[in-house]
Amino acid sequence: MMQRAPDPFGQRLALAVRRIGSPVCVGLDPHPGRVPTGEGAQAALDFCRGVIDVVHDVVPAVKPQVAFFERMGWQGVRALEQVVQHASDAGLMVILDAKRGDIGSTARAYAEATLHTADAVTLSPYLGPESLTPFQEHAGKGLFVLVRTSNPGASLWQTETGAAEAVAEWVQSQALATMGADALGDVGAVIGATVPEEAAHWRDAMPNAWLLVPGFGAQGGTATTADPLFRADGLGALVVSARGVLYGDATQDQTDYRAGVRLRAQRLAATFAGKLR
């Protein structure tokens, strides 16, 4: 019996956003020294599982930051795989923030490592389209290509008339080729919420692409700066907050962080809940 091909990522994400009612994503960043459950891979696993348990009915997706797990060696990699599985079992879509970018067999190996369980991955396009196509071989998976990131130094290279524009053109062409019923494709772009003066340009440049929008909260992005990145129907952008949801102030009760995480996730979700049409 032939196995049914997975539904396109872009359409699955649209359905998930509509089901929850808010286009937001919680970043899973177990910062050393800030995880309330302690230090090490097991503590990071326990923390992220706890976060997932209290946000799975509040947001449609989570975004584990691979580096915070890899720094802990094989135990961290194993913890990351368990986090991805726990999130998937809870009904969340999982976007691995790995920012991979290489060519040939190395790119193919990176694709297998990141997409065998996760729904999508972030990618660096600096080596050109051949560094991205191996990831497209995984049917039903999503790619978020770095186009205009939220860090201050990005403006030196990621300009509207330079390399970023060329990458955006490629993203739009691939989004068109894979779009589903909501006219959103499997290939999207990372556009920071910290560049509001450019937001409308990038939305217009990639009308059929999902935009992953970091920089909200701790980096200064706001609902106002993110607003032009959404389509008129409220789809097309997925706003990310990690530190702003995960970590409270210095007086946060370290024995029960879940209540604070859930409250902050609910506030974030409510901020964008009215966008969906």
Q: Is 273 buried (19+), middle (13-18) or exposed (0-12) by CB count in 10 A?
A: middle
Helix boundaries (H) for the chain: 9-20, 41-55, 66-70, 73-89, 104-115, 133-136, 163-178, 196-205, 223-226, 243-246, 258-272
Residue 99 appears among annotated catalytic residues: yes
The backbone torsions φ and ψ at residue 237, rounded to the nearest 5 degrees and listed phi first, read -135, 140
Q: Is-contact 244 216, C-beta < 8 A?
A: yes
User: Which residue in 63, 99, 141, 275 is the catalytic one?
Assistant: 99
Tokens matching residue 235: 């789809």
| Cα→Cα distances 59→30, 111, 190, 217, Å | 19, 26, 19, 16
Closest by CA position to 216, among listed 268, 263, 167:
268
Q: Which positions are annotated as active-site residues?
A: 99
